Amino acid sequence: MTVINLSDTAAALPAAWRSRVLGRVGTACIKVLRMSELPVEEESHDAPEALLVLDGRLELGLDGGTVTVRAGELFVVPAGTRHAVRPGSRGTLVIVELEERTPAAA
């Protein structure tokens, strides 16, 4: 067992929006990343995705509106929901998600 300093880990990443896998709990993957002020393209996932802002804020566009997630807040994006990071998002973000499954080769 190891204690991980999330802020230090995010600060040491080579680029914004490049996550590092910290560990796994069952089938869930826990990642940390550093956000920049730049937007990220729309995406969706087959399973819910938990977004925990450690510091800064996340501006998330979904369902035609914007949700602001501030430091210390958690937002769970429902499965199948199209969402995009809006400009102005910055700080440290922890993501908990189920790994995307690729179809088995026939």
What sign for the dihedral angle of Cα 80, 88, 66, 33? positive
Residue 1 covered by a domain:
no
Residue 103 covered by a domain:
no
* Residues 6 or more apart in contact with residue 78 via CB below 8 angstroms: 48
Residue 101 has pLDDT above 80, yes or no: no
- 30: confidence class by pLDDT, cuts 50, 70, 90: very high
pLDDT of residue 64: 85
Q: How many domains does the chain divide into?
A: 1
Residue 105 covered by a domain:
no
Polymer length in residues for the chain: 106
Whether pTM > 0.85 for this model: the answer is: yes
Per-residue pLDDT of 37-67, as tens digits, reads 999 999 999 999 999 999 999 999 998 899 9
pLDDT of residue 105: 52
Integer Cα distance of 93 and 10 in angstroms: 8
Residue 59 covered by a domain:
yes
Question: What average pLDDT does this structure show over 3-16?
Answer: 93
CATH number, domain with residue 75: 2.60.120.10
Residue 104 covered by a domain:
no
Cβ-contact 59, 19 below 8 angstroms:
no
Residue 75 covered by a domain:
yes
The region that residue 87 occupies, defined by phi over 0 for left and psi between -120 and 50 for alpha, beta otherwise, is beta
